[in-house]
Amino acid sequence: MEPLSKPRKRRLSKDGSEHRDQRHELEKKRTKISFQCRRNHNRDLHKTTFLTLPHELRQQILLDTYDAAEPLPNLSDANLWTRHRELYEWAVTLRSAEMCLYDDIYYVLTRWFKEFGAWHDLEMQKVNDLNAKINELTESLSSVPPAPPIGTPLPFVNMLGILMLMERSELLERVRRIMGLDG
């Protein structure tokens, strides 16, 4: 029988071992806090409750409760300000109910507001683009040459002359329809 060879020792740089030690310490702290939360909530460690779940799973469940990623047509239809207030009240209630959920609630609020901010910026950009188009059309209408003398027939192909006679609300409605913003 041949003697077993000695296992090779891994050579780690100082950075690698420090990183491993930091991860190990962080994992120990997480485990300790998790067990403390479980013991504080209920004395039976074998009973599964929402608070005994790993914090990543709790965060995902809480995030799915208020998922802001779904596309919403516009601010007035979405009632986002109402959802914003409801989310805040929900967060305050959960934070006061259980301290173990504090970090989970913070994570969910951060994600939700980040997604809401991106959506809000996109909607505001659409509104700004629409206003720029309207201003551009208004300026082009104001630069139309004066109407021909009375009694002279208007050329049918002169769309700017026709648009100049339209009311502003009709013009806005047409621009929205052309840009595909009319629901």
- Examine the fold and report which residue of 9, 34, 52 is the final residue of a domain before the chain moves on: 52
pTM of the model: 0.35
Within 3-51, residue ranges assigned H as helices are: 14-41
For the stretch 112-168, pLDDT in tens is: 777 777 766 777 788 888 888 888 887 777 666 666 667 666 555 455 555 555 556
Condensed to tens digits (0 to 9), the pLDDT of residues 73-105 reads 454 455 555 566 666 777 777 777 666 777 777
The amino acid at 16: G
Return the pLDDT at 71.
Answer: 47
Domains: count for the chain: 2
Residue 69 has pLDDT above 80, yes or no: no
- Whether residue 14 is contained in a domain is answered as no
Quick check: is 59 in a domain?
Answer: yes
Residue 156 belongs to some domain of the structure = yes
The answer to whether residues 90 and 141 belong to one domain is: yes
Domain interval for residue 28: 19-52
Both 34 and 95 in one domain: the answer is no
Written as one letter, the residue type at 135 is: N
